[in-house]
A and B are shown apart, each in its own frame.
Chain A
Amino acid sequence: MGDEIIFVDGLWKSYGFRMPEWFYQHGVIFNKRIISETSEQVKRYSRYKWALQDISFKIKRGESYGVLGRNGSGKSTLLKILAGICPPTYGKVEVRGSVFPMIELNAGIHPDLNGWENIYLLGSIMGLSRRQVKKLLPAIEDFSELGDWLDKPVRMYSSGMLVRLGFSLAVHIDADILLFDEILAVGDLAFRKKCLDEIYRKITDQGSTVLLVTHDPYQVDRLCDYALLLDQGRIYALTEANQVLATYHNLMGNYTAQSALSTQKPESGENLRPGTGEIRVNRVCLLGQNGKEKSLFHCFEEMNIQIDLRVNKPVVDPSIRIDVTSVDNIIVTSISIHHENLTGVFTKEGEYRLICKVPQVLLMNGSYYLFIKISRGYPIDSIDNMAPFHVELPNTSEIRSISNKGLFVTKANWEISREGMMIEKSD
């Protein structure tokens, strides 16, 4: 008890209308199939689609949690239940304090009213009195940077300006618990940064408890101490943000690999693939130092990318590019072989094998995959989601200077001196 602000125990949620529990217990229900089922049975062999299954956790005052997971894993459902918008189907949910959901920030605006009128309206939707909104007006005007636009009806606003309107009001609302549901996906870069800074300030200065649903691991990394990873409605991981992020990357890597396998059957996909098709990539795999295939690498390890091609028609001087992409779709690095080096190589039809040797994997913890493109001024072949692999930091002393953040790894030495005298040296 004590400073726990959110307490969830055995929460199950299935969407849609349900008769009051009393009806089920007394068998007064018209649907015969339901009569005899206790709640335990319903949970176990369910005809219902469970959005959340058996969720239990506690959050203390002032803690910030990232909520991660694939689409449909139950993140938004969890937030809606915490906000009291949807009732839980089974289980106990206790929230001690005021909750402010930062979702649908522009819900309820009237397009024909001007910015000011809509601010008052949004204020009362968010639970502020007229006087409270009035006091905030200068701050809102300043934060939104909308200027003269506030006198115009909001139907004239662009979508970005609407976001500004809603958010500028929302950031000034103080609540014990703030729930964010992917709201930072819109707005220009500068405004987004401003919002993130504001949220960060709320967490650190005001001690607000925050739950942040996002698909951007870096937001979690920056804003949250802890993270909750949901997968198919269940808790997959719940601990410190760093560790959960690593788990998240692995999980996403698995899913990426799965979808890569299911979408890229070379035979069937042949005709659908982009490019003119003089050369087709048949297979891509990764080899370790010993020449064996593998998909788990450690930092600083050697990696060999093996590409099997089939040349259907001779091409004089193509170039080949490999993009190493992280699961959150950032191209981490790009390796290519220039057409000058391939001049006169693919002069005959047949199978070819290329091996690209990477002496040291300098990637940070996480999952990656390869995008391969062959072109010659025009695209010949390109294929995505190939050879998914994981990178892990080895647990040796030499790596201790590396923290678990960022995209790439570098070795570093520290030298510390005091008044010109060396006092500490480490590798």
Chain B
Amino acid sequence: MIRSVRLLLALVERSIKGRYRRTYIGIFWGVLQPLFYMVIFTSIRKILNISSGDMPYVIFSFSALVPWTFFSNALTQASTSISTNSMIIKKVSVQREIFPLSGVLVSFVDFLAAFLILMIMVIWYRIPLTWNWLWLFGLVPLLLLLASGLGIAISAFVPYRGDVAMAIPILMQVWMLACPILYPISMVPDEWRFFYTLNPMVGIIEGFRNVIVLGVSPDFPMVGISLLVTVLVWAVGLPVFRYLSRFFAEVY
């Protein structure tokens, strides 16, 4: 167990150090992705006539893009983690959950960097800090748990069928549009609202926006759904991963 944790940390360190070793702007690449999306969204909102209420649209979209980019990158990284580390998997017997987890944690470092940019924006737009910000201590772990649970569940199937890893980037594009990132949740028609909120990311993203930009508490029923889905994902995903991962060394 200690051994696995140690290896997990080493893998995260390797990815972060290795990834940016031969670049000019280093870790800044991690925050560039949500920033670009923000710029694109800001440019097209006029065409689509999206209203962000009385919030500045820039921070409206960026506060949602920060958790979303982490989530999407975490799942993508987790889905490729088994093949990236196949040599290690073939060599030592450790808890194999650490490989998707390392992918999630590497993305989490980027998340922290992006969050710092978000804080700079908060200061720039003179958005007041409120006690409701403390909800972030619940929202961030929930986001992390959801991403790692799904990451583990998905990566269990990747070695068996490569299609899974191929499908993830496309799925993430679609999923992004099904989240209140580009548009506010108020634009979702009422009759769809229930199905819409079954998406576990809706509660979390809305939560981020509510807390950081509006300074109010998250929508509890929606976050409750996120929590429920997270528990479900772990309850099903972990045992499935445990079983399927026993054969990783031989299917790769």
Surface stretch bound by A, among B39-47, B226-234, B242-250:
B242-250
Q: How far is the CA of A103 from the CA of B90 in the complex (A)?
A: 9
- Do residues B88 and A125 form an inter-chain contact, with CB atoms below 8 A? yes
- Do residues B92 and A85 form an inter-chain contact, with CB atoms below 8 A? yes
Q: How far is the CA of A113 from the CA of B247 in the complex (A)?
A: 30
Query: Is B251 engaged at the interface, CB distance under 8 Å to the other chain?
Result: yes
Question: Residues of A contacting B11 with CB < 8 Å?
Answer: 108
- Do residues B10 and A121 form an inter-chain contact, with CB atoms below 8 A? yes
Query: Is B186 engaged at the interface, CB distance under 8 Å to the other chain?
Result: no
Instruction: Tell me the smallest distance from the CB of B113 to a CB of chain A, in Å.
Output: 20
Question: Residues of A contacting B18 with CB < 8 Å?
Answer: 110-113
Question: Residues of A contacting B88 with CB < 8 Å?
Answer: 107-108, 125
Bitwise interface map of A from 143 to 162 toward B, beta carbon under 8 Å scored 1, else 0: 00000000001000000000
Given contacts A16-B251, A17-B160, A103-B91, contact A124 B7 (CB under 8 A): yes
- Do residues B93 and A85 form an inter-chain contact, with CB atoms below 8 A? yes
Given contacts A110-B18, A121-B14, contact A104 B90 (CB under 8 A): yes
Q: How far is the CA of A16 from the CA of B244 in the complex (A)?
A: 11
Instruction: Tell me the smallest distance from the CB of A109 to a CB of chain B, in Å.
Output: 9
Given contacts A17-B251, A87-B247, A129-B6, contact A117 B91 (CB under 8 A): no
B91 contacts which of A18, A85, A87, A123 (Cβ < 8 Å)? Answer: A85
For chain B residues 1-20, which have a beta carbon within 8 Å of chain A? 3, 6-7, 9-11, 13-14, 17-18
Question: Residues of B contacting A127 with CB < 8 Å?
Answer: 3, 6-7, 92
Question: Residues of B contacting A117 with CB < 8 Å?
Answer: 14, 17
Instruction: Tell me the smallest distance from the CB of B102 to a CB of chain A, in Å.
Output: 11
Q: How far is the CA of A125 from the CA of B250 in the complex (A)?
A: 19
For chain B residues 161-214, which have a beta carbon within 8 Å of chain A? none
Question: Residues of A contacting B246 with CB < 8 Å?
Answer: 86-87
Query: Is B130 engaged at the interface, CB distance under 8 Å to the other chain?
Result: no
Query: Is A83 engaged at the interface, CB distance under 8 Å to the other chain?
Result: yes
A125 contacts which of B7, B21, B243 (Cβ < 8 Å)? Answer: B7
Instruction: Tell me the smallest distance from the CB of B20 to a CB of chain A, in Å.
Output: 9
Query: Is B132 engaged at the interface, CB distance under 8 Å to the other chain?
Result: no
Q: Which residue of A lies closest to B6 (CB)?
A: A124
Instruction: Tell me the smallest distance from the CB of A137 to a CB of chain B, in Å.
Output: 16
- Measured as residues with beta carbon below 8 angstroms from the partner, the interface class of chain B is 20 to 34
Bitwise interface map of B from 128 to 155 toward A, beta carbon under 8 Å scored 1, else 0: 0000000000000000000000000000
Question: Residues of B contacting A112 with CB < 8 Å?
Answer: 18, 21-22
- Do residues A108 and B6 form an inter-chain contact, with CB atoms below 8 A? no
Bitwise interface map of A from 81 to 117 toward B, beta carbon under 8 Å scored 1, else 0: 0011111000000000000010110011011110001
Q: How far is the CA of A124 from the CA of B244 in the complex (A)?
A: 24
Question: Residues of A contacting B33 with CB < 8 Å?
Answer: none
Question: Residues of A contacting B13 with CB < 8 Å?
Answer: 121
Query: Is B236 engaged at the interface, CB distance under 8 Å to the other chain?
Result: no
Query: Is A408 engaged at the interface, CB distance under 8 Å to the other chain?
Result: no
Instruction: Tell me the smallest distance from the CB of A376 to a CB of chain B, in Å.
Output: 52
- Do residues B14 and A110 form an inter-chain contact, with CB atoms below 8 A? yes
Query: Is A126 engaged at the interface, CB distance under 8 Å to the other chain?
Result: yes
- Do residues B91 and A125 form an inter-chain contact, with CB atoms below 8 A? yes
Query: Is A15 engaged at the interface, CB distance under 8 Å to the other chain?
Result: yes
Query: Is A321 engaged at the interface, CB distance under 8 Å to the other chain?
Result: no
Question: Residues of A contacting B85 with CB < 8 Å?
Answer: 108
- Do residues B17 and A113 form an inter-chain contact, with CB atoms below 8 A? yes
Query: Is A339 engaged at the interface, CB distance under 8 Å to the other chain?
Result: no
Q: Which residue of B lies closest to A104 (CB)?
A: B91
Q: How far is the CA of A121 from the CA of B17 in the complex (A)?
A: 11
Query: Is A134 engaged at the interface, CB distance under 8 Å to the other chain?
Result: no
Q: How far is the CA of A120 from the CA of B6 in the complex (A)?
A: 11
Q: How far is the CA of A104 from the CA of B93 in the complex (A)?
A: 13
- Do residues B247 and A17 form an inter-chain contact, with CB atoms below 8 A? yes
Question: Residues of A contacting B7 with CB < 8 Å?
Answer: 124-125, 127
- Do residues A107 and B91 form an inter-chain contact, with CB atoms below 8 A? yes
Query: Is B87 engaged at the interface, CB distance under 8 Å to the other chain?
Result: yes
Query: Is A80 engaged at the interface, CB distance under 8 Å to the other chain?
Result: yes
- Do residues A104 and B160 form an inter-chain contact, with CB atoms below 8 A? no
- Do residues B249 and A125 form an inter-chain contact, with CB atoms below 8 A? no
Question: Residues of B contacting A17 with CB < 8 Å?
Answer: 160, 244, 247, 250-251
- Do residues A120 and B10 form an inter-chain contact, with CB atoms below 8 A? yes
Q: How far is the CA of A107 from the CA of B90 in the complex (A)?
A: 9
Query: Is A291 engaged at the interface, CB distance under 8 Å to the other chain?
Result: no
Question: Residues of B contacting A87 with CB < 8 Å?
Answer: 246-247
Instruction: Tell me the smallest distance from the CB of B170 to a CB of chain A, in Å.
Output: 26
Q: Which residue of B lies closest to A127 (CB)?
A: B3
A83 contacts which of B10, B14, B93 (Cβ < 8 Å)? Answer: B93
Instruction: Tell me the smallest distance from the CB of B248 to a CB of chain A, in Å.
Output: 9
29 A-B residue pairs with CB within 8 Å: A15-B250, A16-B247, A16-B250, A17-B247, A17-B251, A80-B249, A83-B93, A84-B93, A85-B90, A85-B93, A86-B247, A87-B247, A101-B91, A103-B90, A104-B91, A107-B87, A110-B17, A111-B18, A113-B14, A113-B17, A113-B21, A123-B10, A124-B6, A124-B9, A124-B10, A125-B7, A125-B10, A125-B91, A129-B6
Rank and list the top 5 A-B pairs by shortest CB-CB distance, nearest first: A84-B93, A124-B10, A107-B87, A110-B18, A112-B21
Q: A16-B251, A124-B6 are in contact. List 11 more A-B contacts (CB 8 A).
A: A16-B250, A83-B93, A108-B11, A108-B14, A113-B18, A120-B10, A121-B10, A125-B10, A127-B3, A127-B7, A127-B92
